[in-house]
Amino acid sequence: MGANRPNYTTNYQLSPINDKFYAAFMHLRKSFISLGIGLYLFVTANALAYTVFRKSLLPTPIIRYFYGMMAPYQGYSTHNAELVAEGQKTDGAWEVIDLLPYFPGSIGERTFREFLLSHRAQGKEATRQGYEHLIEQIRIQEAHRGRTYSDIRLAFDTWPMAPDGYETLRLPAFTRRIDPLTLE
């Protein structure tokens, strides 16, 4: 019964030629792995630099994926922001339109949607088209609710953050209105 079992203790030696190929292959493999890791670290560090300083050594298509990995560090601000829509009535007066039905969800999700970040990542023209589409959708939905406007405008209200809550410092003295395209 013991004679038919394979002997696993036998040391299988490679020939000297195979040893050289194996050593060269392992060296090449180690070099490629080191190169890959180094390249990954370089591009990731470049994405971090782009996140912080808005300067990149690489073209945008290459940096975009790695920049996306920096998402938790991209959006920090010391100010709150909320999209405001106003509709112009037939008498010329502007009326604030409640956007809550258009952006359901938590404050964070709402802010993400209001900034049209998926459009903004594609450039200024895509962002402009996104806001024009949003204005048209608001116009249609408000007309269904019986409120017609001759014009609709969008802006962001910004105000400083406060430890006491999101809306605490949303007062006329602290609130500033900025353009949704340029965010200035």
CA distance 93 to 29: 71
Q: What pLDDT score was predicted for residue 21?
A: 81
Would 45 be classed as within a structural domain? yes
> Is residue 109 over pLDDT 90?
no
CA distance 160 to 175: 8
**Average pLDDT of every residue of the chain:** 84
Are residues 144 and 58 located together in one domain of the fold?
A: no
Would 8 be classed as within a structural domain? no
CA distance 159 to 176: 6
Q: What pLDDT score was predicted for residue 172?
A: 94
Are residues 143 and 94 located together in one domain of the fold?
A: yes
Are residues 84 and 25 located together in one domain of the fold?
A: no
Are residues 174 and 105 located together in one domain of the fold?
A: yes
162 has which bridge partners? none
- 84 to each of 22, 46, 81, 148, 152, how far by Cα in Å? 67, 35, 9, 17, 10
Each residue of 131-156: pLDDT tens digit? 999 999 999 999 999 999 999 999 99
Count: domains in the chain: 2
User: In the chain, how long is the greatest CA-to-CA distance?
Assistant: 105
pTM for the structure as a whole: 0.60
Each residue of 52-104: pLDDT tens digit? 787 778 887 777 777 766 666 666 678 889 999 999 999 999 999 999 999 88
Q: What pLDDT score was predicted for residue 132?
A: 96
Are residues 112 and 68 located together in one domain of the fold?
A: no
Rounded-to-5 percentages of helix, strand, coil across the chain: 45, 15, 40
CA distance 135 to 131: 6
Question: Which one is predicted more confidently, 171 or 3?
Answer: 171
Are residues 90 and 66 located together in one domain of the fold?
A: no
Are residues 44 and 65 located together in one domain of the fold?
A: yes
Domain ranges, residue 58 = 16-72
Q: What is the DSSP string of 78-96?
A: SEEEEEEEEEE-TTS-EEE
Q: Which residue has the tokens 């007062």?
A: 171
Are residues 166 and 95 located together in one domain of the fold?
A: yes
CA distance 59 to 50: 11
Q: What pLDDT score was predicted for residue 74?
A: 62
Last residue of a domain, one of 72, 87, 109: 72
Are residues 56 and 142 located together in one domain of the fold?
A: no
Would 183 be classed as within a structural domain? no
What is the bridge-based pairing of β-strands 79-88 and 94-97? antiparallel
Are residues 114 and 135 located together in one domain of the fold?
A: yes
SS3 state of residue 164: coil
Question: Which one is predicted more confidently, 49 or 131?
Answer: 131
Are residues 108 and 83 located together in one domain of the fold?
A: yes
Are residues 82 and 118 located together in one domain of the fold?
A: yes
